[in-house]
Structure 1
Amino acid sequence: MLLALASVAGLSGCGAAAPGGRPTVVIGAKEFTEQWVIGELYKQALANAGYSVELKSNIGSTNIIDGALTSGQISLYPEYTGVVLQVLAKQTTIPGSAAETFRKAKAFQEGRGLTMLPPTPFQNRDAVGVKPAFARKYGLRTIADLRRAPHVVFAEYPDNLAGALGYHQLVKTYHLRNTEVKTLNIGLQYSALDHGQVDAADVFTTDPQLARGDYTLLDDTKSFYGYQNLAPVLRKGVLKEQGPGFAKVLNRVDALLTDKAVREMNRAVDAVRLAPSEVATDFLRANGMT
């Protein structure tokens, strides 16, 4: 958290003049693989189209990066629609569809002088993952079924203990009185599951590790994690400053981001160890955007 705060404090303000007369766009990204890749996709696609762009990765959690946007330290960042409602708007009622989630998230942002561009086809929702053997042993199919186990060590990343999507609220919603939490940074939960250090973990549905079939996702019968398509959030003035072609570039990138495409790009970074910038370049080239 201290590192994230320091990175925000070190951001330069938006609005420096670019060679073409338009201000430089500063893109922000949170502190995990998928955000790094998408930040690079936005940066490179816009730069290829002639815009002056900077990318600031590892800014931090939702509240921190939102503060960077509203204070004008960044111009835009990719955010998940359900996160906007549950974390920023603090709504407790989950919309009944992805489309309704986006509509309400955009309306919330519009009320703050921000806006959102159309969402991606893919969603990246939190989910609860367990090892198949653990699921079979206790007959686990849903998150609520965790109550059948005598004791559950649950892996959660440090930024997601409190809040609408956090561990404590999950425990309350599903009445999981038999759990204890073990905080692990994003990505470390899979090794912990494999080695029996935890019994269940908060995972992301686009994590490349899930493609191997070594983990079972428990059904979220209460729609606790909601709908989580991704969409760029930006200050309204950015669209006016940059002109109509700016949004078209971002929309073209986002239209390409399917579940399979994002999972494969995440895998290329996390498993193959390619740089996010390299993965983004290859993806844009393959889709005729270079």
Structure 2
Amino acid sequence: MFTALKKGRVAAATIGAASLIALAGCTNEDPTGSAHDSSAAASGDTVVVGSFAFPESQILGEIYAQALTDAGLDVETKFNIGPRQQTIPALQDGSINLIPEYNGNLLAYYDTEYEERTTEEVDGALVDAVAADSLQVLDSAEAEDKDAYVVTQETADENDLTSIGDLANIVPFTLGANPQFVELGYGVPGLKDTYGVGTEEGDVTFLPIEDFGGPDTVAALVDGTVQVADIYTTSPAISSENLVVLEDPENLISAQNIIPLLSDDIYSDELAEALNAISAELTTDDLIALRDRVEGDEKATAAQAATDWLTEKGLIG
């Protein structure tokens, strides 16, 4: 197993993902303020919650924002920002000071050759990694949204595909994923180095699709434009389109738990208590259900889905 090349997903790693629908709760102005002291949140300064440019992140941002508002903190939102190349600097300069993150992806941003695989290992490594930027993480949730190599049920049945290594059965094939997938350690390089798939030129043709496992990626897989796609494990399309997530016995893709990332200067006990309570309740099944409400036929707003979930869990009153 070639762990040196393993990286977590870089969620929303291009600005192109911003073309996704911007859900309710967004603000366009830059609410940058001056540097806060260590009791900023407790003293009434505004907590600015950000999100990446895809629906799940915006739903999580709404959950954070509404819970903190209910806890008595002054909260603004700045959603649909873009990749970590934008969100990390925004955290550093105060444009935002809190964002829902993915622990494996975040660690990959700081250490592209990280070898931690489990939630506990990744969370432990993150503490020191983000501290260098005057940031901190709180408790991670059980909820996990991971990249996955996905095929249609028909392709799986016809070619006896159950795990990623079985993709050797269908070379040559076309793989559809976000543009960075061609170079990420868990992407095309990892497919070759960890599973021995794509060792010959022409075995794997890469088709960049900039919606990060969204409708365009799903459509390309279902209509046969690609035979394999990178689709996240909380995608409602896995069930609705009868898709197959290939097993990853070599742990090519690390833990990807939801975790709050915040700037040191906005920390307060009240903020930590509210966010840790969310992490204690949030499961992967919850993420799937939340995404289905917002992205499925109901077309609920991120704000409404967040309110309903928080109320159901007794986290707001």
Query: What are the ranges of 5 or more consecutive residues in structure 2 without an aligned counterpart?
Result: 1-13, 19-25
Q: Secondary structure at the match of 2:260?
A: strand
Aligned length: 285
Match of residue 237 from structure 1 = 265
| Contact 1:39/1:77 (<8 A) preserved | yes
Please state if 1:125 is matched with 2:140: no
Please state if 1:228 is matched with 2:256: yes
| Contact 1:15/1:23 (<8 A) preserved | no
| Range with bigger deviation, 188-197 or 28-37 | 188-197
Please state if 1:64 is matched with 2:86: yes
Please state if 1:151 is matched with 2:172: yes
Q: 2:313 aligns with which of 269, 287, 290?
A: 287
Offset at residue 276 of structure 1 (A): 0.4
Match of residue 28 from structure 1 = 50
Match of residue 275 from structure 1 = 301
Q: 2:242 aligns with which of 205, 209, 214?
A: 214
Q: Distance in 1 between matches of 2:258 and 2:121?
A: 14
Offset at residue 107 of structure 1 (A): 2.3
Offset at residue 68 of structure 1 (A): 1.6
Q: Distance in 2 between matches of 1:91 and 1:110?
A: 18
Supply the RMSD in Å over aligned alpha carbons.
2.7
Provide Cα deviations, 1:12-31, integer angstroms capped at 9, x if missing partner: 31459999952111111001
Please state if 1:266 is matched with 2:288: no
Which is bigger in relative contact order (C-alpha 8 A, separation at least 6)? 2
CA gap of 1:79–1:227, structure 2 versus 1, over 3 A, is: same
Offset at residue 125 of structure 1 (A): 0.9
Q: Secondary structure at the match of 2:207?
A: strand
Q: Distance in 1 between matches of 2:110 and 2:55?
A: 22
Offset at residue 65 of structure 1 (A): 1.4
Q: Which residues of 2 match residues 193-212 of structure 1 at below 5 A?
A: 193-212=221-240
Q: Distance in 2 between matches of 1:71 and 1:9?
A: 17
Q: Distance in 1 between matches of 2:17 and 2:158?
A: 40
Provide Cα deviations, 1:237-282, integer angstroms capped at 9, x if missing partner: 111xxx3111111111222211111110010001021110111111
| Contact 2:51/2:61 (<8 A) preserved | yes
CA gap of 1:252–1:25, structure 2 versus 1, over 3 A, is: same
TM-score by length of 2: 0.82
CA gap of 1:8–1:162, structure 2 versus 1, over 3 A, is: farther
Please state if 1:111 is matched with 2:132: yes
Q: Secondary structure at the match of 2:231?
A: strand
Query: What are the ranges of 5 or more consecutive residues in structure 1 without an aligned counterpart?
Result: none
Offset at residue 92 of structure 1 (A): 3.7
| Range with bigger deviation, 197-206 or 215-224 | 215-224
Match of residue 252 from structure 1 = 277
Please state if 1:42 is matched with 2:64: yes
Q: Secondary structure at the match of 1:144?
A: helix
